[in-house]
């Protein structure tokens, strides 16, 4: 968010703290694209093929706050740091992708018969590249056509190897954000702050692959809370509060009801936990050193 706010202050992107994903009916798509037509041939082609009437039917959600994040103008990238440049490019490419056609692909299932044993697998091949022209990493999950085995052909296997690799089952930051979105925990603007908080407080560490590994302190905290107050660690609790706040924002509930519900909800759990401090201490003691 700090990088995004820097880009906003420089006039390069629109206001970044927003959850709205739907363009307004009077948004000037071509006007914005026109500022980037010299970027590359793909943008020029997009400019020629764009249909603003169709774009009005695109899916999206209007959260009643600010418009979606879009690029506003070009700038010499030498004036930006490496991370600022990467974020700026990402926002530009997402904007171009959002105005592009869909990507289409075929799902293929194939079988291999080895020593009378059948092994099944599936893959996909891209038919129309669509929006992934601007987001090439979206294509990594798809195989290219020439990598798919042809049917009814006998293949000679020259070498067979077997390797067992232990995979640590830790989720990445992006995977955690996906789970937070599914469970309605936090907003687009606050999710990264929540993750930063658990890192700064020493509950998890981020490894080189951006996976979140729980520390002894984090494991002890979860075990302790699950022992004395299991419900407090469930995603539904935060989601329930978020839902009440949304009702307040939408005018479907009033401030007193929402505030009293939240205070009473956590007050009961606070008294329950504080009354079982001895249990908490015993659990934390197991993880010392």
Question: Are 10 and 75 within one domain?
Answer: yes
156 within domain boundaries:
no
Question: According to the model, what pLDDT value does residue 58 have?
Answer: 60
Structure tokens at 252: 């479907």
- Judge if 139 and 90 occupy the same domain: no
Structure tokens at 237: 């609790």
Same domain, 85 and 187: no
Do 110 and 86 lie in a common domain? no
pLDDT in tens, 114-134: 778 887 777 777 888 888 889
Look at the chain and report how many structural domains it folds into: 3
Both 139 and 87 in a single domain? no
Active site residues: 15
Q: Is residue 166 part of a domain?
A: no
**Separation of alpha carbons 48 and 34, rounded Å:** 10
Q: Per residue in 238-287, pLDDT tens?
A: 778 878 888 888 888 899 998 998 899 889 888 988 888 888 888 888 88
Domain boundary among 35, 70, 98: 98
Cβ neighbours of residue 83 under 8 Å, at least 6 residues apart?
A: 3
Within-domain flag for 278: yes
Kindly state whether residue 92 falls inside one of the protein's structural domains.
yes
What domain range includes position 82?
A: 2-98
Whether 120 and 34 map to the same domain: the answer is no
Same domain assignment for residues 124 and 69: no
Q: Do residues 141 and 190 both lie within one domain? A: no
**Same domain membership, residue 142 and residue 74:** no
Give tens-digit pLDDT for 56-107. 556 677 777 888 899 998 877 678 899 999 999 999 999 998 888 888 888 8
What pLDDT does 213 receive? 92
Domain of 86, CATH number, reads 1.10.290.10
In a domain, 188, yes or no: yes
Report residue 149 as tokens.
């085995």
> Is 82 found in the same domain as 14?
yes
Note whether 285 and 216 are within 8 A (CB). Answer: no
Give residue 166's pLDDT. 65
153: in domain: no
Residue 198 and residue 136 share a domain:
no
- CATH code where residue 181 lies: 1.10.460.10
């Amino acid at each position: 968010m700090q990088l995004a706010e820097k880009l906003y202050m420089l006039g390069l992107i629109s206001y970044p703290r927003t959850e709205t994903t739907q363009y307004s009916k009077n948004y000037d798509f071509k006007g914005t694209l026109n500022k980037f037509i010299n970027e590359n041939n793909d943008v020029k082609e997009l400019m020629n093929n764009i249909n603003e009437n169709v774009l009005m039917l695109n899916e999206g959600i209007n959260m009643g706050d600010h418009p979606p994040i879009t690029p506003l103008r070009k700038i010499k990238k030498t004036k930006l740091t490496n991370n600022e440049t990467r974020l700026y490019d990402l926002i530009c490419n997402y904007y171009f992708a959002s105005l592009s056609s869909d990507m289409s692909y075929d799902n293929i299932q194939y079988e291999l018969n080895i020593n009378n044993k059948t092994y099944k697998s599936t893959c996909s091949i891209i038919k129309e590249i669509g929006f992934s022209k601007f987001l090439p990493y979206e294509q990594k999950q798809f195989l290219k056509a020439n990598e798919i085995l042809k049917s009814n052909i006998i293949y000679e296997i020259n070498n067979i190897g077997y390797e067992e690799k232990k995979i640590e089952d830790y989720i990445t930051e992006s995977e955690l954000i996906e789970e937070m979105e599914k469970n309605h925990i936090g907003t687009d603007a606050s999710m990264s702050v929540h993750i930063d908080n658990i890192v700064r407080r020493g509950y998890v560490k981020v490894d080189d692959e951006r996976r979140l590994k729980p520390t002894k302190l984090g494991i002890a905290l979860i075990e302790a809370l699950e022992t004395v107050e299991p419900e407090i660690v469930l995603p539904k609790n935060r989601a329930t509060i978020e839902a009440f706040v949304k009702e307040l924002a939408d005018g479907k509930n009033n401030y007193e009801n929402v505030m009293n519900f939240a205070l009473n909800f956590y007050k009961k759990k606070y008294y329950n936990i504080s009354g079982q401090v001895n249990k908490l201490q015993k659990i934390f003691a197991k993880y010392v050193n």
